[in-house]
Amino acid sequence: MTSTAAPAPFKGFRDPVFGRYLMMRLLVSLATQMQATAVGWQVYDLTGDPIALGFVGLAQFAPIIPLMPLSGQVADRVDRRRIIQVCAIVYLALMLGLAVLPAMLGHWSIYAMLVVFGATRAFDHPATTAILPKLVETHHIRAAIALSSSVGQAAAIAGPALGGVLYVFGPEVVYGTAMAMTAAALIAVAGMPPVPPSYEGTARPSIFGGVTFILANQTILGVIALDLFVVMVASATALTPIIAKDILAVGPWGLGLLRSAPAIGALAISAYLSWRPIDRRAGLVFLLSLAAYGLATGLLGLSTNFLLSALALALYGAADQVNVIVRMSMIQLGTPDEVRGRVAAANAMAINMSNQLGGLEAGLTAAWLGAPGALVLGGALTLVLSGLGAVIFPKLRRVDRL
């Protein structure tokens, strides 16, 4: 009789390699969340113009489209750990620049550094995403995705709140603390072993191989496309400085708490889903999460109460986290490793396009309709898109098990 040994339990943070990856993600996420809070408040404080907040998003998005195809190619042909290290060093230099240059050169210097930040992120995101399945066994990938996402959400809770509190002492304090965290992340990455690429062919793989793969897979195409358009029309976080200052009349501390609220909701739903994972009707759950995202956005637009606004943002984050877990599970489990960097780059391009253009759209719409009107309109459009998605992508709607 042949017996099959049970797979080893998932160790998470206790795993010597994956634990370092999680620590790196935690520290870098904390640093970038703090930086985002400081930049948003600093730009709005210097200009008082909602459109200026939109340009924050545009500056970070501008390098994404030209660089993402190249960054995916690099992630499939170069040690992904080395890419992460180089990007962290660039982040350190940018945070130092944000602490020093605006006082001398004005708010336009912030936009210039955010362009470089976006270019760096174009290489960092595919490498960080594509490296994960190489660090854990295949049967642990779902758990690794959930835990990695939870770590990011925990940082998104603490990062904005910490950034808001530290901003009271000046933006330089925020950026200096973020630099220390990024330096610690570099130490964590240095302790990881090399992760050479899986591609071993002699011919150069197609730079657009990731896009080709996505277009041929209706399920993956559906989750990426719907997430792109929904976030593009319903970007609530881009307007939180206006909500905090003009609608709710709270200071940087209030902004930090509001920016933390989506992550609190996301972390709560992650904890629940780690206990009761999505194992049936995953496609329908994804579509319903989009609808819930839109409802939460509309509720935020209607609110004039701090606690209700925080609750709306928590629901917004919970719905988005369900979206993330289902989407990333479908992408990671459905993509072979030799094309995973390019697929991750294409997905990252869509994520950045939705986040940054969504921020620009939110700023322009807020200048036209006011922040509440922009949020209500975005929520209504999201409900329409979730319904259309069920019709346009029937294979996605019928996905059952992940």
274 inside domain: yes
pLDDT of residue 202: 45
Range from 28-32, 326-330, 341-345 that averages highest in pLDDT: 28-32
Per mean pLDDT, which range of 22-31, 228-237, 283-292 is the poorest? 228-237
2 inside domain: no
Rounded Cα–Cα distance for residues 359 and 5 (Å): 50
DSSP 370: -
Rounded Cα–Cα distance for residues 296 and 281 (Å): 22
Query: Residue 247: pLDDT above 90?
Result: no
Tokens of 67: 């660089």
Task: Give residue-wise pLDDT tens across range 382-401.
Answer: 999 888 988 888 888 787 77
pLDDT of residue 75: 81
H or E, element range at 134: none
pLDDT of residue 292: 92
Query: Residue 178: pLDDT above 70?
Result: yes
Query: Residue 325: pLDDT above 70?
Result: yes
The SS3 of residue 216 is coil
Q: Count of CB atoms within 10 A of residue 289's CB?
A: 24
7 inside domain: no
Range(s) of the domain holding residue 290 = 12-196+207-397
- Sign of the torsion angle spanned by Cα atoms 87, 90, 95, 98: negative
Rounded Cα–Cα distance for residues 110 and 390 (Å): 41
364 inside domain: yes
Rounded Cα–Cα distance for residues 40 and 28 (Å): 18
Task: Give residue-wise pLDDT tens across range 112-143.
Answer: 899 999 889 888 888 888 888 788 777 677 77
In contact, 73 and 341? CB cutoff 8 Å: yes
295 inside domain: yes
CATH code for the domain in which residue 18 is found? 1.20.1250.20
202 inside domain: no
In contact, 266 and 68? CB cutoff 8 Å: no
**Which residues fall within 8 angstroms of residue 3, CB to CB, at 6 or more apart?**
none
Per mean pLDDT, which range of 218-232, 284-298, 333-347 is the poorest? 333-347
Q: How many domains does the chain have?
A: 1
Average pLDDT, integer, range 255-277: 78
Residue of higher predicted confidence among 66 and 180? 180
The SS3 of residue 277 is coil
Rounded Cα–Cα distance for residues 396 and 400 (Å): 9
Average pLDDT, integer, range 50-67: 77
337 inside domain: yes
Q: Count of CB atoms within 10 A of residue 158's CB?
A: 17
The SS3 of residue 298 is helix
pLDDT of residue 397: 78
% of the chain at pLDDT higher than 70: 90
In contact, 149 and 55? CB cutoff 8 Å: no
pLDDT of residue 73: 80
The SS3 of residue 105 is helix
Indicate the average pLDDT of the chain: 81
Residue 362: which of 240, 272, 280, 269 has the closest Cα? 240
φ/ψ bin of 278: left (φ > 0), alpha (ψ from -120 to 50), beta (otherwise): beta
In contact, 234 and 319? CB cutoff 8 Å: no
pTM higher than the cut 0.85: no
pLDDT of residue 199: 58
Tokens of 276: 């009761």
Task: Give residue-wise pLDDT tens across range 195-219.
Answer: 777 655 545 556 667 778 888 788 8
254 inside domain: yes
